[in-house]
Amino acid sequence: MSLDAARVFLFTPANRPDRFAKAAATGADALILDLEDAVAAAGKAEARANLLAHFAGDWRAVLAPGQACGLRVNNIHTPAGLQDLAALAAAGLRPGFVLVPKVESAVEMRLYARHLPGVPLLAAIESARGVEAAIDIATADPAVAGLVFGGADLAVDLRAALAWEPLYAARARVVQAAAIAGIAAVDVPHFALDDAAALAEEARRARAMGFTGKLAIHPKQIAPIVAAFTPTAAEVAEAREIVAALEAAGGNVVEFRGKMVEGPVVKAAQRVLLLAARGA
């Protein structure tokens, strides 16, 4: 599965190798083995060693068909982040992807692309500077496969509440940058673990804005996110009818259920069919 087709990315602490296979069994489209926030400073060396051993072995064996697995490194501006990059580069490993946190410039992404050739990169936008540079970051290198909206850290940086309305403008800029580059846009995790209704609504809004997927911090968040990012049967049926109507009209503008159907409407319908196909 390509990263722009992944609906849900599940975090798993890198210092808990006993959970790696369990994470794969959850059915999440993509797994993020986390060296950053999930691991305390004192445990980062051990967690890094866990991941080097994991990705040096037959790590794909536990994955379902099409399931992706990568890791989140530490911020490159910290000693731990420098050690992460150096260790990965020296080992010559090729995980499914690398999530780079707190990115604020295109130069950072080019650095990872240079030292981790062939590895798809996700750039987390988590600061005001990152938002301002989002387009440059998204287009920094062909290895950049997606942007991740890091709302928690961004809210602190903006002195804003971690809520939909205060972060709406920043979310929109991340989606815009990802769209310009033609790459994935992944929304922030929902931090209230016991509010499935709020998670579902936030995921629905994120999809409506143009996000292609959402982060998850617990397996029980997977199902609501997948449901939100998968078109309903009614949406798929309507999309098929729209495409068929335009094809029958030879590509000319046509009336469909009282509305005029032309290029942009058909493109939206085709997008629905693509979203449906990735969940099949």
Q: What is the pLDDT of residues 78-136, one digit of tens each?
A: 999 999 999 999 999 999 999 999 999 999 999 999 999 999 999 999 999 999 999 99
- Which pLDDT belongs to residue 243? 78
β-pairing, 254-256 vs 259-261, is antiparallel
CA pair distance 6, 237, nearest whole angstrom: 22
Domain map of the chain by residue range?
Answer: 3-228, 233-278
- Which pLDDT belongs to residue 273? 77
Q: Spell out the CATH class of 3-228.
A: alpha beta
pLDDT at 280 over 60: no
Tokens for 151? 């709302």
CA pair distance 133, 146, nearest whole angstrom: 14
Whats the size of the chain, residue-wise? 280
Q: Is 200 helix (H, G, I), strand (E, B) or coil?
A: helix
Average pLDDT, the chain: 92
Q: 218 to each of 10, 157, 194, 230, how far by Cα in Å? A: 7, 25, 10, 19
| DSSP-derived secondary structure for 32-85 | EEESSTTS-GGGHHHHHHHHHHHHHS-GGGGSPTT-EEEEE---TTSHHHHHHH
pLDDT at 194 over 70: yes
Q: What is the pLDDT of residues 222-257, one digit of tens each?
A: 999 999 998 877 877 877 877 777 667 666 666 667
CA pair distance 20, 151, nearest whole angstrom: 26
pLDDT at 175 over 70: yes
pTM of the full structure: 0.90
Percent of the chain past pLDDT 70, that is, above it, reads: 92
Mean pLDDT score, 186-205: 96
Q: Is 135 helix (H, G, I), strand (E, B) or coil?
A: helix
Distance of CA 151 to the CA centre of its chain: 13
Instruction: State the residue for tokens 């060693």.
Output: 49
Q: What is the pLDDT of residues 40-85, one digit of tens each?
A: 999 999 999 999 999 999 999 999 999 999 999 999 999 999 999 9
Q: Phi-psi region for residue 128, left (φ > 0), alpha (ψ -120 to 50) or beta?
A: alpha
- Which pLDDT belongs to residue 130? 98
CA pair distance 54, 15, nearest whole angstrom: 11
Tokens for 130? 């990152």
Determine phi and psi for 266, rounding to 5 degrees.
-65, -40
Percent of the chain past pLDDT 90, that is, above it, reads: 80
CA pair distance 145, 48, nearest whole angstrom: 23
Q: How far apart are the first and last CA of the chain?
A: 12
pLDDT at 278 over 70: no
Among 169, 215, 256, 257, smallest CA distance to 37 is for: 215
